[in-house]
Structure 1
């Protein structure tokens, strides 16, 4: 049987694929822990400068595998599911100092939707859909859904989607500002790859500092954010990539960034 997480590294990009297509890539304990392991490896691998997260088959991720939680022999309990499975995944996505793109190839429901929305950039196939499915079974949005969704689309829209569990198409998600953009089914894989490879060839130290500043902006006041921008800009200006970018601009040539 294929591993529940597949990883391919090419052109400075790690493509991580959720690989339980027979259950729409829903998470069980094994897949959740494997994804954490692979994300940590990508964080440490100097050859990887950007990460793409997608799913195999028709779905991106249907959230939690309900067969696991309804089987008394397999059910790890909600405390473990949240504190050992999903919360660490979200924390890794936000703390890894590399851009992470979610390429949502199909339905993203429950935790699957919120894991996607925690990524730095979200793109989707025209056939994708996002569903806060929790209320349909008497649960609340987890995996930082109550944190990121209102910040992405506003309190009213987030409240309605969280409570009603409406399906949001890829086109609607782009219009709402929930995702960056969507592509046709035919061009989805090519365009997703092109985007993440573009990030991998950019000055990724500056992107990491940008990511840190965006993370802190969620809780900082204006004075704190200005101070952080100052600190991070000084750090960015000391990188080799900054010097390369300036020299390339002056010399009217394409820069060769190395993430240093």
Structure 2
């Protein structure tokens, strides 16, 4: 079992919802992002999503796009991102880490080389938003053979005809995108999310985690109550971009985690 699967088994046994937090590797710099990353488990985060900076992040809204540009301007690379994970793993061998990004940097590195390095560094799963199920042989299948979960996104436009294809090689959890559009574009609505999560869960035993458009503890609680947990990204990235101290960013994360865990 991966750390992701173990964590969700534990949460299920405890009757708790998951709180997943996203941050961009290298934003505003390696030292600060690593410091925040190390503090996330203590702030109540169950799974960490670590963004891999990329020049053309088509699924991301302005907040995360700008975070990626700041990281790239600071010379952040795939190698440095993997080193962040290694540094995190020196003190934490349990918290699951999902690398979220785009295929180009992985393709450029070479899939076999990347998977070997990701495994060695301590990454547990991948979310690669620009690889559809039709391209599973590119990365999804090799990743799963290498022991990494491959997490797929379902969206409001994933209809009943498409959903089985999306789910067929997904592992770890399903990431349901609560809105149509880019990250941070609108507020998630539990009344809209609930029926969609139920539709997905009717076709899979995997946990369903909801992301996009969650900015407050109240929304985190409402959304987590409809699913197996929630993801917050843009709101956390915005807190970091505002120049707040690490302890203040982590206090904000704690408030979100408390909201999700109270569902």
- Normalising by structure 2, report the TM-score: 0.32
| Greater gyration radius | 1
Question: Structure 1 length normalisation: TM-score?
Answer: 0.32
